[in-house]
């Protein structure tokens, strides 16, 4: 069938045929015949997505053995047939791929996906493409009623929503509040100075993060409650200081000022009623889903794909490695990193979620391997070594060539030194829950396969230098989520 015939038939389907999944299956099958490299489960996915769009179901699709860029066609072809009320929530990189790769590819095949951007609601049947920040704003403006939400990479949904909902208050915001309410200016200055003295007295290092408890800001809440229409972001701050949010200050010793940060502990709980009232489609890897706590409202839950189709990675986890709190741990990481980097011809990524230790390791490796070693950079040499955090790697790996090896120096378990993590753990303790096995461990297990994903395309090597992996009983769960893998007992020349 020609592209012109596709366009005519798609228009007829939109207007007359309720069973769009039949047509989605038909078109997807034709595309698969043209391109055998497409993810084969796109055929089934297109039917499932089309059915959920038609029935307005609350659907969870768990996809195994797939790169997140491989299932775009299975999602977008049904949207070409039925986009009424659909809201596609994307990151900046996903949006770039959507507009620069996926929509042009659809157009070449005769499919036209009409999209609408911006905070104003679409006036006709277009897919409303929103960033996570704009999704939160649209929710606050009550513009998401009767919409059907679509989220991809749901294993990162909580993290992305939390960042989108975060609030930052700088010294300029305090000045703005004082100018808006001159009669309270003196009280606000006194309060700011009192908080500043307390925060800087608690700091043990420059640029420290100091937790701000509700008891520290009772006076501010009382003042904000009196103001009728405080300037941004103060109305949001008032709502965020009633509970369910983490609050901390980031100090800047250079100018003796601080920035106030607020983030929700569990953003999906704040948005829960929105997902109860509206249909949604989520696509994720097959580990713990962010919507698992919504089991009672889910209409469809399907698992697609198979891990057996994934390329196994070579896994190097030496026995008898020291624990992260051991005095020799930094030296151990340096020695093993040297051995792993030596003689490598491809890209090496070293992940370490401890800023001080990461900078120390980067400096020591650069002293030995020179300009090959970079700190959080997307412009490495072909045999470069990038030292970075797991968060930076998640945000940047699509801009880099697939690595030859990934070295996880420290398992990316959220630190209790983080005010956000400390507040979340405290909330779990109040509920009598095991905060490690119910909070930190599941997050680690959902994160690790995502970190290692680029290795599989390159049949690379993964090294984990954290002694807890073999010493703790939960280490077996880490080995399980990294399947398939081949053990590498010793380092040998290629």
Cβ proximity of 275 and 151 under 8 Å: no
Residue 150 binned pLDDT confidence (cut-offs 50, 70, 90): very high
pLDDT reported for residue 293: 75
Between 222 and 161, the higher pLDDT residue: 161
Residue 190 has a pLDDT of: 93
Domain 310-487 bears CATH identifier 3.40.50.300: yes
Average pLDDT value for residue range 241-265: 91
What pLDDT is attached to residue 77?
93
pLDDT tens digits along 308-336: 566 789 999 999 999 999 999 999 999 99
Q: What is the pLDDT of residues 213-232, one digit of tens each?
A: 878 888 888 888 888 888 99
CATH class of 3-147+278-307: alpha beta
pTM of the model: 0.90
Confidence at residue 274, expressed as pLDDT on a 0 to 100 scale: 96
Residues 6+ apart with CB under 8 A from 304: 41, 44, 45, 48, 61, 62, 63, 64
Q: Work out the average pLDDT over 439-452.
A: 92
pLDDT above 80: residue 491: no
pLDDT digits (tens, 9 = 90+) for 356-383: 999 999 999 999 999 999 999 999 999 9
pLDDT single digits (tens) 30-78: 888 888 778 889 999 999 999 999 999 999 999 887 778 889 999 999 9
Cis peptide before 484 (omega within 30 of 0): yes
The partner residues of 461 in beta bridges, in order of sequence, read 314, 405
pLDDT at 18: 58
Contact 488, 314 (CB under 8 A): yes
DSSP 86: E
- Looking at residue 4, what is its pLDDT? 47
Helical spans, DSSP H, in 116-263: 132-140, 157-165, 171-180, 185-202, 218-226, 234-240
The answer to whether 109 and 78 have CB atoms below 8 angstroms apart is no
Closest CA to 286 of 480, 49, 53: 480
Helix, strand, coil % in the chain, rounded to nearest 5: 50, 15, 35
Bridge-based pairing state of the strands 405-408 and 348-351:
parallel
């Amino acid at each position: 069938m020609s592209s012109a015939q596709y366009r005519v038939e798609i228009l007829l389907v939109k207007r007359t045929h309720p069973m769009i999944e039949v047509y989605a299956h038909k078109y997807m099958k034709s595309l698969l015949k043209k391109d055998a490299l497409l993810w084969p489960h796109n055929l089934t996915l297109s039917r499932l997505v089309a059915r959920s769009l038609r029935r307005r179901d609350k659907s969870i699709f768990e996809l195994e053995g797939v790169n997140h860029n491989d299932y775009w066609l299975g999602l977008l072809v049904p949207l070409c047939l039925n986009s009424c009320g659909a809201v596609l929530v994307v990151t900046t990189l996903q949006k770039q791929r959507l507009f620069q790769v996926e929509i042009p590819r659809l157009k070449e095949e005769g499919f036209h996906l009409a999209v609408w951007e911006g905070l104003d609601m679409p006036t006709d049947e277009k897919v409303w493409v929103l960033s996570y920040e704009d999704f939160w704003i649209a929710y606050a403006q009550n513009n998401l009623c009767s919409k059907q939400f679509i989220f991809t990479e749901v294993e990162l949904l909580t993290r992305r929503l939390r960042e989108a909902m975060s609030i930052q208050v700088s010294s300029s915001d305090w000045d703005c509040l004082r100018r808006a309410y001159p009669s309270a200016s003196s009280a606000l200055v006194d309060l700011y100075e009192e908080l500043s003295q307390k925060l800087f007295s608690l700091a043990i290092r420059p640029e420290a993060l100091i937790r701000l408890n509700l008891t520290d800001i009772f006076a501010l809440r009382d003042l904000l409650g009196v103001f009728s229409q405080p300037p941004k972001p103060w109305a949001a701050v008032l709502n965020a200081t009633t509970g369910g949010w983490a609050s901390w200050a980031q100090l800047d010793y250079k100018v003796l000022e601080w920035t106030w940060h607020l983030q929700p502990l569990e953003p999906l709980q704040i948005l829960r009623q929105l997902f109860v009232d509206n249909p949604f489609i989520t696509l994720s890897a097959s580990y713990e889903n962010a919507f698992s706590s919504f089991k009672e409202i889910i209409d469809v839950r399907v698992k697609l794909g198979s891990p057996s189709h994934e390329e196994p990675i070579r896994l190097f986890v030496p026995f008898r490695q020291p624990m992260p709190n051991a005095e020799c741990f930094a030296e151990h990481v340096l020695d093993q990193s040297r051995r792993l980097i030596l003689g490598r011809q491809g890209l090496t990524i070293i992940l370490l979620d401890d800023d001080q230790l990461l900078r120390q390791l980067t400096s020591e490796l650069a002293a030995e391997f020179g300009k090959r070693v970079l700190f959080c950079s997307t412009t490495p040499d072909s045999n470069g070594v990038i030292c970075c955090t797991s968060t930076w790697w998640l945000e940047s790996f699509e801009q880099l060539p697939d690595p030859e090896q990934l070295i996880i120096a420290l398992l990316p378990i959220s630190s209790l030194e983080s005010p956000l993590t400390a507040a979340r753990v405290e909330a779990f303790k109040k509920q009598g829950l095991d905060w490690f096995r119910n909070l930190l461990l599941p997050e680690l297990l959902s994160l690790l396969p995502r970190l290692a994903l680029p290795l599989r395309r390159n049949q690379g090597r993964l090294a984990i230098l954290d002694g807890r992996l073999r010493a703790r009983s939960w280490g077996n769960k880490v080995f399980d989520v990294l399947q398939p893998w081949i053990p590498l007992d010793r380092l040998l020349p290629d």
